[in-house]
Structure 1
Amino acid sequence: MGLGLLIVVGALVVNASPSDPLDLAAQRIATLPADPPGTNNDTHYLVSNERRLDLFFDRLPVTRGGVLIGVGAEQLLILAGWTRPDLVVALDFDPVIVDLHRVHAALLRHAEDPDAFVALWADEGRAAEVLAADGALARVTAVHRLAARVVSTRLVELHERPWRGKTPRAGPKTFLTDLGQYDIVRSLAKSGRLVAIQGDLTGDVTLPALAAALRDHDLLVRTLYLSNAEQYFMYGDGYRRNLLALPMDDRTVILRTLPGRPRDFEYLSQRGPHFQGWLQRPRVRSVYAIRGLAKGAHLVGETAHRLGPPPK
């Protein structure tokens, strides 16, 4: 998975009102300068392998609205349906994933319900027509061709049996099983408030510009979804600076995953100020120091944990 985030507006801004502060913010974010693309050995994480996102459901912000920032693929659409943000910012250092989110946004705008969205992803010809009508660049249409099979398979899975080890109707509903949630996600796409941009969590360009844009428009990060990105790097000066600059309050929730045994991930939640407190300690060099483990212990997959503030 990439080290980036996504914003869902991208090059496809729809019906943006210049007088609406949220639209102004979305337009500015969609045109932020980009960090250089990361090295991914030609591997693109087109779908998530986190199969128990339902373990986050009880840890989500109580307050709706604000900004959802996150890395990953379809996870952001699930989280958007649950958290009802005013703006979704998806960022990734892989330009293919940035364009994948632009495909999601375009198809959402044209599909009136979950069944139509799933069907449109699977229909290469019809999807190409929709993307062309939406003004998508050729490279965005090419990403749909690249991703159609694997994304369609994943969407069908989410539609029919979203949570591994549970019956189809067990656990929280998602934007693919609840029309109300789907309407929320679709509305974000139609209003240009589902924005995708290229950036690196540890970079020097995009995240500082994003933090400045959010502060200038008086927007708070309500949910920050990091997936398992932090397992791939130590906490350097750039990452600390970038995450400390993001505007958060006591109701901000950080969501992250770390690989666990025998499979899948641990699902970790934390209050935003608590995470920023850890980042202010130079000796804390990685997410594993925040997670904490007794000697000889290991991470256990498909479990949920709340992480607290740094010790006094």
Structure 2
Amino acid sequence: MNISVVIPLLNEHESLQELYNWIAKVMLSNRFSYEIIFIDDGSTDDSWKIISDLTKKDEHVKGIRFFKNFGKSQALHAGFEKAQGDVVVTMDADLQDSPDEIPELYNMITNEGFDLVSGWKKKRYDSVISKNIPSKLFNWAARKTSGVILNDFNCGLKAYKIDVVKNIDVNGEMHRYIPVLAKNAGFSKIAEKVVLHQARKYGETKFGMDRFIHGFLDLITIWFLSHFGKRPMHLFGALGVIMLTIGFGFSLYLGIDKLFLNPTGRLITQRPQFYLALSTMIIGTQFFVAGFLGEIILRTKQDKKRYLIKNELNF
């Protein structure tokens, strides 16, 4: 199979039929063998009914339905697990991503040898204040922190070699950082392609300003995981050593001063250096404990299902 198109969605019943027709037209005109995997992330409208109807009419269409809304990352993870195509293309269901981009994305993966190609919505039709400016700031921070040079990390239109999606773990809200996850997993051939961005035709966006706050917090998380996820003691232990060294240094100074230099002076407990020494040694000990707990958790954790599937069609 050439292509798997993975589409997570939430309450997009108005656009699904039109999106399916568009994708099918592109696939047939390019003679691709394909599958379209819709992941209904807890929709409360008629989205699942439309997906069910499409699966009955076309064996290329497959559906996954969650019991409730678990989030886009979990939906992508479920789609990646089921995907069978040599190239996996992800896109949003709101018609803002153009299926006409798929053939060129496929070509960049298969003929140009890239592991991942990310779309870049260079010309956007979103609000400048609520999306464009925060998006530019977010992408700048992501580039500086991750070392992956992309202009649009959050673009839903991406293409991957099948090996990439089978070897990365997309969880929480890490869908924004799939290129970073891929790089950390050893897939370093990452490219970017300018893609057409269209104004939303139906409904309203499901994401507000809070996604950028969550995005920055996730950026810190992925930085920590990429550097210290396997050995948290390396970070917390180093911080603990620094704090304990500072505390020990102050304690040594106070002891020498009291015993040899100024034995009749103020009590040690009346000096501010005593409290600095005490505080830094306590903090240092806490860092060590955090590091040990992190190591223990890593070695004893059990994988837990992050989403529950209610229905599957055509698998």
- Give the TM-score normalised by the residue count of structure 2: 0.27
Larger Rg: 2
Relative CO higher for 1 or 2, CA cutoff 8 Å, sep ≥ 6? Answer: 1
